[in-house]
Amino acid sequence: MVWSGIDPVALQLGPLAIHWYGLMYIAGFFATWYLVRLQLKQTGLWETRISHDAYEGLFTTLILGVILGGRIAYVLFYNFDYYIDHPIEAFYIWQGGMSFHGGMVGPLVAGWLYCKKHDLPFLELSDRFFTVAPLGLMFGRIGNFINGELWGRTTDVSWGMVFPHAGPLPRHPSQLYEMALEGLLLFIVLWLLRKKVWPSGARVAIFLCGYAVARIFCENFREPDEQLGFLFGPVTMGMLLSSAMLVAGLAWLAKLDWKTPKN
């Protein structure tokens, strides 16, 4: 299969270009806003533990955390040498270049600070957000695919694709693998388990483990970032960061008090 390329600009209004990548972020934020709110209503937390105004404020804070955390981590871990020479381009998020790991840590820190300030149940809210976080990942990977970035390694499988700017050889559409596993599959699992009564924070830990396993698997088909290559042997930066994430998730699960579930 040959992929002829999709214009990353969805709509051009004079000097204003609306990119598919940005639209995917908007779709992810909207889906998260709606489904987290739905969970809060189903579990009785809405208007009892968190008000409408507090939720809107928290959500805005988390969006800023995602954008800042994801971009800062990408600049620091994936392309620091380039951005140290082109600092203004660190702000060009519409061109792509976001680290999921930073996009996870950023809202966790921002959310914790917001919940502490407004006396909100941080872990209970985190469980609801992480239940639907894979949807955001799914939309993000679609954006990567449309942008023609983060392509896979060369392959001779029948569904291999030729990506613009990636040479003439067919490659794994690894963005779609990640979309399916880190995104859709992980969301289905967490959504189906959302009504289970577990200790607060359990869903966050399960997400960490599930994402890490999916990402490590997909990294075997994804071309390492050109500026980094393999760190050592077959290990990529994505594998390294996800391995730390898996350890953190397993440790979190081990520390939870499963005898007195709260969530």
The answer on whether 141 is annotated among ligand-binding residues is yes
pLDDT at 150 over 60: yes
Confidence band of 1 (pLDDT split at 50, 70, 90): low
| ∠ CA 125-131-136, rounded to 5° | 105
Residues of the chain with pLDDT > 90: what percent?
Answer: 59
Report the SS3 class of residue 209.
Answer: helix
Average pLDDT over residues 245-253: 96
DSSP 223: P
pLDDT at 176 over 90: yes
CA 39/CA 54 separation, integer angstroms: 16
Nearest CA to 178 out of 137, 146, 206 is that of 137
pLDDT at 145 over 70: yes
Confidence band of 6 (pLDDT split at 50, 70, 90): confident
Exposure string of 160-192, with b = 16+ CB inside 10 Å and e = fewer, is: bbbbeebeeebbbbbbbbbbebbbeebbeebee
Between the ranges 83-87, 94-98, 143-147, 218-222, where is the mean pLDDT highest?
218-222
Averaged pLDDT of the chain:
89
pLDDT at 4 over 60: no
| 218-237 per-position pLDDT tens digit | 999 999 988 788 988 899 98
| 183-210 per-position pLDDT tens digit | 999 999 999 999 899 999 999 999 999 9
Residue 43 in tokens: 């579990």
DSSP per-residue codes, 100-146? HHHHHHHHHHHHHHHHHHHT--HHHHHHHHHHHHHHHHHHHHHHHHH
Nearest CA to 37 out of 28, 24, 50, 27 is that of 50
Which pLDDT belongs to residue 103? 80
Cβ partners under 8 Å of residue 234, min gap 6? 220
CA 217/CA 186 separation, integer angstroms: 14
Residues of the chain with pLDDT > 70: what percent?
Answer: 96
Average pLDDT over residues 163-189: 94
Domain ranges of the chain: 9-255
pLDDT at 92 over 80: no
Q: What are phi and psi of 158, to 5 degrees?
A: -65, -25
Enter the pTM of the model: 0.87
Residue 55 in tokens: 């939720």
Contact between residue 212 and residue 249 where contact means Cβ atoms under 8 Å apart: yes
The residue among 103 and 24 whose pLDDT is bigger is 24
Look-up: residue for tokens 């483990």? Answer: 209
Average pLDDT over residues 42-65: 92
Which pLDDT belongs to residue 12? 85
| 178-190 per-position pLDDT tens digit | 999 999 999 999 9
3-state secondary structure 15-57: CEEEEHHHHHHHHHHHHHHHHHHHHHHHCCCECCCECHHHHHH
Average pLDDT over residues 17-24: 86
